[in-house]
Amino acid sequence: MEQLNILFVDDELHNLNAFKSAFRRDYIVHLADSASKAMEILAAESIQIIITDQRMPDVTGVEFLKKITPQYAHTLRMVLSGFSDSETITQAIKDKTVHHFINKPWDKQIIKSIIAKAFAN
């Protein structure tokens, strides 16, 4: 099976490093430390999965996903957060901007199984 391209967005450098080392064996990992950087990567690469942190300097994770959803509707979109603080995430899941919500600290296996399930067919 061809490896999936995954884009991980987080403003915290340590999280980017951690994500890459955790998932580089299973996917082709692309990293972005801001929403704008993420847009560039989305334009340049063919990305199947987007995982973003909720709390970021310029826009929140949900806002970022809302913006790109029309253009990249086929992607699998997930939001990561340290604290399930908002109704916005629940709302975003309802209107299918976000497919999954994951709490920090993440469980590698859960993320992998979500992806596996989504791309089973």
Task: Kindly list the residues in this chain that would bind another protein in the complex (CB under 8 A).
Answer: 12, 14-15, 17-22, 24-25, 55-58, 81-83, 85, 103-106, 108
Residue 39 zone, left/alpha/beta (φ > 0; ψ -120 to 50; rest): alpha
Residues whose CB falls within 8 Å of the CB of residue 113, separated by 6 or more in sequence, listed in order: none
Which of 33, 108, 34, 42 lies closest to 77 in space, CA to CA? Answer: 42
Angle between helices 13-23 and 108-118 (to 10 degrees): 60
Q: How far is the CB of 73 from another protein (least distance, A)?
A: 28
Shortest Cβ distance from residue 17 to another protein (Å)?
5
Minimum CB distance to another protein smaller for 72 or for 78: 78
Q: How far is the CB of 34 from another protein (least distance, A)?
A: 11
Decide whether 38 or 72 has the Cβ nearer to another protein.
38
**Cβ closest to another protein, residue 19 vs residue 64:** 19
